[in-house]
Homo-oligomer: A and B are copies of this chain.
Amino acid sequence: MRGVMGIDKRKKVSCVLKKTPPPAVILAAGMGSRLRKRNGGIPKPLTRYLGLTLLERAIKTCMRAGIREFYVVVGYKKEMVKKHVEELKKKYRVPIEVIENPNWERGNGTSVLAALRRLKKPFILLMCDHVFDPEIVKTFVERAMESGTSLLAVDPRKDWVFDLEDATKVKLRGDNIVDIGKELENFNGIDMGLFYCLPDFTIALEEAAEEGEYSLSAGVRFLAGKKRIKAVKMDGRMWFDLDTPESIDHARKVVLESISTKGEDGYISRFLNRKISTRISGWLVNTRITPNTISVISFVIALAGAFLFGVKGYLWTLFAGILVQLASIVDGCDGEIARLRMQSSRFGAWFDTLLDRYADMAIALGVTYGYWLVNPHPLAWIGCAVAVTGFILASYTRKEYALRYGVPIPSGPFDKLTKRDLRLFGIFLGAIFNRPFLAMVILGGISHIYILSRLVSTYVSGREFQG
């Protein structure tokens, strides 16, 4: 199951000037000493997190924000990182230039300076060990494109950060940065490690360096004093600073728990399937298995269930029901993994939807065949065809409405009762009570009532085009 209907939510009258986003500089020079134990010497940018290396995730996140030009500052184990950059260049077909920083051990300010000297134009700056909900970077880039000063993304939520003690704190007044540093006692925001750097950052970092300070924060403090940098408050979305094994475990846990397609999930999906599927996804995300393969696996499990429904005997029926419910759970994993790895695709979502429809047909045929073996009356088959039609047409109606009216169908009392999670769970329950056919017919009936109710309510609400 994958959510997100491809509905165009743009306003009817829009006026967009298409500017090119600035390039992104990704800091990947540090050693990541606290991660080294677990990593066995792999440099930090190559650390895998939810199926992607940190560097790959940083690049994909920026690409979602429209960025198409990359610079990666390397230092520690630079040959390994450079090799990985070459792989990413090929994979995503975007220009990624390597900037070497021989002074990386002094502090991350030196890496930024190296980038400033190379680029001589504004850029987005991010640390490769900070992972962001893509929407954060997207919003930040939009703000950057309109900004006349450098910017720093700041999270006002103190309780969001896993290791507050180690976080860089920021004291804000409005969107002015009053102070910044790890040791601040009095602060009201956390440095998210996401910057927009104008060329005047160079002077700031050079000044700080003259005083023997080589951190990026020192440069920010200098700029802040001259009101040449502003804070952009980012609230409500997820980001993580992954500098210890514990923080990685924490981030994984939080992300997996929140991976459901909000609002679109049915009851069973939300309260049962997701609990299990997210565990499976957490394990599968680090394998090479693709979301489309998982769609096929879920389909095959459903087919096996369908087949067993056609075999006489309660135990087979029960087993078939379990398989069907298992297929329903696994069907959650394709979308989860696609989202975790930022691999979502329109084709994948379509492929998954189509397999779901075929699986539903197969299950209905299996259930009916099993029933017909005991009650050989043609009405059983007519019930089967009517139920299958209901299952498919419920989904069909949602698409039809979205296509014709340009907005999702308004949800009604029957809405969540006609979703696939509940349908398959209903058949599973039916199997437990040895009445899968009855369950199927009831669910089919509900689907038809749903379709009729949507039709009538649309007619009554007069969403008619009179012209």
Residues of B within 8 A of A245 (CB): none
CA distance A348 to B18 in the complex (A): 38
Find out whether the CB atom of A406 lies under 8 angstroms from the CB atom of B16. no
CB within 8 Å for A381 and B385 given contacts A399-B403, A466-B92: yes
A378 CB-CB contact with B under 8 Å: yes
C-beta contact mask, A445-467 vs B, less than 8 Å → 1, else 0? 00000010001001100011111
CB within 8 Å for A400 and B353 given contacts A15-B15, A389-B361, A406-B6: yes
A369 CB-CB contact with B under 8 Å: yes
Find out whether the CB atom of B405 lies under 8 angstroms from the CB atom of A465. no
CA distance A402 to B396 in the complex (A): 13
Question: Of the candidates B5, B364, B386, B388, which one forms a contact with A403 in the assembled complex, judged by CB atoms under 8 Å apart?
Answer: B5
CA distance A27 to B62 in the complex (A): 60
Give residues 353-382 of A contacting B (CB, 8 Å).
353-354, 357-358, 361, 364-365, 368-369, 372, 378, 381-382
Listed from nearest, the 8 A-B pairs whose CB atoms lie closest are A381-B381, A6-B404, A346-B404, A399-B399, A345-B465, A15-B15, A361-B389, A345-B464
24 contacts across the A-B interface (CB closer than 8 A): A5-B403, A6-B405, A8-B8, A14-B14, A15-B15, A92-B466, A345-B464, A346-B404, A346-B465, A347-B458, A347-B459, A347-B463, A357-B389, A358-B389, A358-B393, A361-B385, A365-B386, A368-B381, A368-B385, A372-B381, A381-B384, A384-B385, A385-B388, A399-B399
- Residues of A that sit less than 8 Å from B by CB: 5-8, 13-16, 18, 60, 63-64, 92, 342, 344-351, 353-354, 357-358, 361, 364-365, 368-369, 372, 378, 381-382, 384-386, 388-389, 392-393, 395-397, 399-406, 451, 455, 458-459, 463-467
